[in-house]
Structure 1
Amino acid sequence: MATTLKDIANQANVSLATVSRVLNGDSSLSVGEDTRQRIFQVAEELNYTKHQRTKNKGKFARIAVVQWYTQKQELDDLYYMSIRTGIERACEQVGFQVVQIFESKLDQIPTAVDGIIAVGKFSKRQIQRFKQISSKLVMVDYDGLPSECDSVTADFEHGTQLAIGKFISDDLTDIGMIHGSETTSDHQESIPDLRLHYFEREMKKRDLFRPELVFKGDYSSQSGYDQMITAIDTLGDKLPHAFYISNDPMSVGAIKALQERNIQIPERVSLISFNDTTIANYIFPGLTSVKVATEEMGENAVLLMEEQQTTTRDYPKKLVLGTKLVERKTTF
């Protein structure tokens, strides 16, 4: 005898209506993730034919979301938390079950997953390992094309052009930069800061690039503070009137350093950051920043994963989301 929705409802201890709406992917239904997963599991155990992936291809897939950050690091840099929020929301809408893996612990990824969404910077070796676990892979905040996998990234080039253009429109041409340096989570490969690449290129086009005004940190608030102190101490009166800084945490540290040295913002030094996380709006003074659509990056990663689950193609896709400048009080 064929399994019915009522059979699933009885075994899962939920209402018939709840079973029907969950199995039909009703995103407006407010139901806990544990309940949703229990219904999926019971449906599979009872071999409910309408639930089989051959007929509902792409729905109910189990997706591992691998973060290269620890949970503590994620709290320090809300950029990746925002991406994860977008992934989780979109997965709930399409009916994907999420398995969260922090700190790139590949040994914790279940072998029985239908796909992997990897958030952050990963080495070729790690990407190959992902592919061994599942052929369906989407990279977020990292260009996956060289490794022949789908990816979602932000437009660092245009964002950097916006920042430089804003400074120049304010008649500021002595522009410094505090950028980041990092490695993949297994420390096997160094990752260049694309913002530095585009900054140097754009400034050289205008014959304005001065390498002595560029300082390297590690994307942390403390690093932003340390590098700005170094700039103040080494440059003295030649401290540039503008700084482009690679992310919001570093910018927060830089602002603290300027305030401690009684250097007025933006009267003496203007600042533009990159990412525009929530901290940019609440720090004093409000931080002008290049906005990245982080939640939308996560959502688009899920759409690529859904496409992989439901269709077949023999080429990778790369989605590049646009950026815009949000002006606040660290610029004129």
Structure 2
Amino acid sequence: MATLKDIAQEANVSTSTVSRVLNYDSTLSVGEETKKRIFEVAEALEYKNLKKSTSKKKGTIAIVNWVSEAEELNDIYYMSIRLSAESKAQALGYNFIRVYNQDELINHDKLSGILAIGKYSQHQVDHFLEKNLPLCFVDFKPQQDIDCVLVNFKNAVKQNIDYLIDQGHSRIGFIGGEESFSDGTGNWIDPREKTAREYLKRKRLYKADYFYIGAFRVEDGKKNMLKALDNLSEEERPAAFLAANDAIAIGCLKALYEKNIKVPEDISLIGFNDISTAKYITPSLTTVKVYTEEMGSSGIQLLHERIQGERQGAKTVITSTKLIIREST
């Protein structure tokens, strides 16, 4: 595991700056470029070094992210997928371009393929298809038969709930996020929230006022945890929470610290994604490891097969998850 010192040396900043950035310290005065560099280094140091191809380049792949460059810092899950995709593309002998706004593809007419990371409306999917290029989605399954890489969110949520029940918890809450497609045509429904509601109902543990939904950001995690603490008495409130991603979970930890509530003695908390930050915060975060390295790498591999004409039928790759138990439970 990379240390804070390793990250600091690679990013050319102090260890204390790395620690405060990874803990989403809002009082730290540091530029967005520095934050981005620290997060990218922290994620990249988790990856195995892929040997770059020295042969003639096979073409150029557009790696499109559904969030903006600034939003990528709020939830580095997508940054992690992007970095692994870029490494795999280089290893296979491709150039790549980063695209944060789908409309920018209009300016690129010499592409070999498109890797689309994130959630897209049907209108946006149709826009990709108009390019008539090999196409693969990561973390999203369109209506059409198109290559994609997905995460088994449902099993992960069920395993989290079973783990908390095994730990003796019967009052289990959920703090999730809601997002809109970037073209403003509708919202994306998080399968983690849907599965948590259904599975807790099956276990006869569901309470509607244990669920709080905001955005997938640290600030919303803190705000919704404070709501949960203010709305319910100590005897009524959940003794354990699932957070839909690690950014939300970090916000929850900040709220609990502000209220002098001990974790995990008073409230247990499980995050989701296992971003590099999760192991460096205090207490270290129990979370679901999503294999973002495999997601980005698999997406490029599927695209490579299409570009090279090795396959015609659409393929879906589903990656597994793993609960990483740390200090917050």
TM-score (norm: length of structure 2):
0.81
Q: 1:223 aligns with which of 210, 220, 223?
A: 220
Alpha-carbon separation, structure 2, partners of 1:202 and 1:171? 17
Secondary structure at 1:231 match in 2: helix
Cα deviation code 1:170-222 (max 9, x no counterpart): 00011000011011111212100110111112111111111110001110100
- Paired amino acid for 1:84: R
Task: Verify the 8 A CA contact 2:229 2:237 in the aligned structure 1.
Answer: yes
**5+ long unaligned stretches in structure 1:** 1-26, 41-59
**5+ long unaligned stretches in structure 2:** 1-49
Residue 130 of structure 1 deviates from its aligned partner by 0.7
Q: 1:159 aligns with which of 156, 167, 172?
A: 156
Superposition RMSD on alpha carbons, in Å?
1.7
Alpha-carbon separation, structure 2, partners of 1:93 and 1:74? 24
Secondary structure at 2:271 match in 1: strand
Task: Verify the 8 A CA contact 2:52 2:92 in the aligned structure 1.
Answer: no
Task: Verify the 8 A CA contact 2:222 2:255 in the aligned structure 1.
Answer: yes
Cα deviation code 1:43-78 (max 9, x no counterpart): xxxxxxxxxxxxxxxxx0221111111222212221
Equivalent position of 1:187 in the other structure: 184
Equivalent position of 1:66 in the other structure: 64
Task: Verify the 8 A CA contact 1:291 1:325 in the aligned structure 2.
Answer: yes
Residue 226 of structure 1 deviates from its aligned partner by 0.5
Deviates further, 128-137 or 321-330: 128-137
Correspondences of 1:1-332 after superposition (within 5 Å): 28=51, 40=57, 60-108=58-106, 110-144=108-142, 146-237=143-234, 238-311=236-309, 313-331=311-329
- Paired amino acid for 1:221: V
Cα deviation code 1:94-140 (max 9, x no counterpart): 11110111133345551221210001111111111111113311001
Alpha-carbon separation, structure 2, partners of 1:121 and 1:311? 26
Task: Verify the 8 A CA contact 1:114 1:134 in the aligned structure 2.
Answer: no
Alpha-carbon separation, structure 1, partners of 2:283 and 2:229? 19
- Paired amino acid for 2:251: G
Secondary structure at 1:236 match in 2: coil
Secondary structure at 2:232 match in 1: helix
Alpha-carbon separation, structure 2, partners of 1:164 and 1:90? 34
Structure having the larger proportion of residues in helix: 1
Alpha-carbon separation, structure 2, partners of 1:182 and 1:69? 10
Task: Verify the 8 A CA contact 1:69 1:102 in the aligned structure 2.
Answer: yes
Deviates further, 221-230 or 203-212: 203-212
Alpha-carbon separation, structure 1, partners of 2:98 and 2:129? 17
Equivalent position of 2:26 in the other structure: none
Secondary structure at 1:285 match in 2: coil
Alpha-carbon separation, structure 1, partners of 2:324 and 2:284? 10
Secondary structure at 2:284 match in 1: coil
Alpha-carbon separation, structure 2, partners of 1:103 and 1:82? 18
Residue 29 of structure 1 deviates from its aligned partner by 5.7
Task: Verify the 8 A CA contact 2:149 2:299 in the aligned structure 1.
Answer: yes
Task: Verify the 8 A CA contact 1:162 1:324 in the aligned structure 2.
Answer: no
Q: Percent identity?
A: 33
Alpha-carbon separation, structure 1, partners of 2:52 and 2:106? 31
Alpha-carbon separation, structure 2, partners of 1:117 and 1:215? 33
Task: Verify the 8 A CA contact 2:52 2:91 in the aligned structure 1.
Answer: no
Alpha-carbon separation, structure 2, partners of 1:230 and 1:162? 26
Alpha-carbon separation, structure 2, partners of 1:30 and 1:306? 14
Alpha-carbon separation, structure 1, partners of 2:305 and 2:105? 26
Number of residue pairs matched by the alignment: 279
TM-score (norm: length of structure 1):
0.80
- Paired amino acid for 1:151: C
